[in-house]
Amino acid sequence: MKNKKYLLNLIIILLVTTLTIYFLIAKSLLTKEVFISISLVNVLCVFVVYLFSVIIYAFVDYLCVKKSLVNFTFLNALTDVVFGRLGSDITPYKSGHFPLRIYSYISNNFSFYEGLSGVTRTQIVVSFSSVVNYLILFFILLANKLSVNIEGVNVGLHLVVGVGALFHVGSIVLSMLLAFVKPFQKFCINLVASIRFRKNEEKREEFIGEQVVKYQVYKEQVILLLKEFYKYILPMLTYALYLYLITSFIYLSYLLLSKEIFSFDGFIKFYLLSLCLTYISNVIPIPGGNGSSEGLFVLLFPLLIGENLLVGTLMLWRISCYYLPVLFGGIFFLLVSLIKKRHKRIKNQV
C-alpha cells in the first residue's frame, strides 16, 4: 500500500512538473535563452552547496543521537538525513520524512524504539534552535527597521521572521501539550483516528497505539534534554548555521546568473523571501512543493529579481536543490536497500 502511495506521488510530481513547464513556456517565461544561461558549472556550484547543507544537518543529527546510541556513526546520520529528505520531497506532507528516517535506523540494525528516540531528539533540538534563531533575527530587523516594498506598501522584514517564530513556538507548545497533558492527548489522538479510520476499527486502534508511543518518547526526550541541555548547545549552534545555508540557495542561484557581488542586505532580503516561500509551500499538500514552489517564486521574487533573470534563477534553484537531490537520493535509497537485503540474505544462509 505504501509503495503504491509513493508511486502515486511520483506520478503527481511528473504531472505537475510538466504542467508547470508548459505554463512557463505558454507565458513566454521559459525560453531558449533561459536554458542557455543555466550552465553545468552553475548547476554544480549550487548542488555542491546543497550537498554541504546535507552534511551539516547530518553532523547535527550525529551530535544529537550519538549521546545515547554509542554505535551510531556519521554514515548512519547521513543515511538518516538523505532518506528523510527523499521522504519529504516525494510526499505531500512535511512529516513525510518520518517513515523513511525510521527505516534508515532499522536498516542500520537499530530498533524501532531507538530510531523513534533518535529522530525525536534531533527534531526537538532543531525546533528549539529555530525559535532562538528567529527571535534573535526578529529583534535585529526590528531595531534596524528593515523593510521591503510590496506594491507601494513597506512591509517590515521582522514580520516575516515573526511568523516563523510563532509557527515554531506553536508547534513546540502543541507537541508539549500532547506529550505531557494526557486528557488533551487522548482527545486529539482519538479525534484524528476517528476521522482517518472511521470505517476501520483495527487500523484506528493501531494508529492510537502508535501515537501514544510517539508522544511518550517525545516526553522522555524532552525531560532528557532539559537535564543535559548544555550537551546540545553545539548541535543547536550548528543548526543555526544550517538554517542560513539552506535559505541561501536562491540567492546563490541569482548571484551566479547576474554576476553580482554578495551583499549582506541582499542576502537578508532573499533569506526572508525564501522563508515566506517555504512557509506557504509547506502547507500546500503537493509532493515536493511542485507547482506551488514555482508559482510562489514567480509571485514573490520579482521584488528582488529582474524579469530577465527571474525564470533562470528559478530553474537553476529547482534543478540543483530539488530534482538532482531526488534523483541521487532515490539512487542512494535503492542502493542502500539492496545492499542491506543482500547482507541479510547472506546472514540467513550462514
pLDDT in tens, 248-265: 999 999 999 999 999 888
Question: Is the pLDDT confidence value at 348 over 60?
Answer: yes
Query: CA 88, 275, 261: angle at the middle one, nearest 5?
Result: 115
pTM: 0.85
Phi, psi of 198 (to 5 degrees): -65, -25
CA distances from 293 to 33, 35, 323 (A): 22, 19, 13
Reading the block at residue 83, the C-alpha cell is 532518506
Query: CB–CB of 234/63 below 8 Å?
Result: yes
Rounded to 10 degrees, what is the CA torsion of 132, 133, 134, 135? 50
Contacts for 188-193: CB closer than 8 Å, 24+ residues apart: none
Q: How many independent structural domains does the chain possess?
A: 1
Question: Is the pLDDT confidence value at 3 over 60?
Answer: no
In the chain, what is the greatest distance between 2 CA atoms, to the nearest angstrom?
73
Least confident of 24-38, 64-78, 83-97, 108-122: 24-38
Structural domain for 313, as ranges: 2-349
Question: Is the pLDDT confidence value at 325 over 90?
Answer: yes
Least confident of 54-58, 64-68, 148-152, 307-311: 148-152
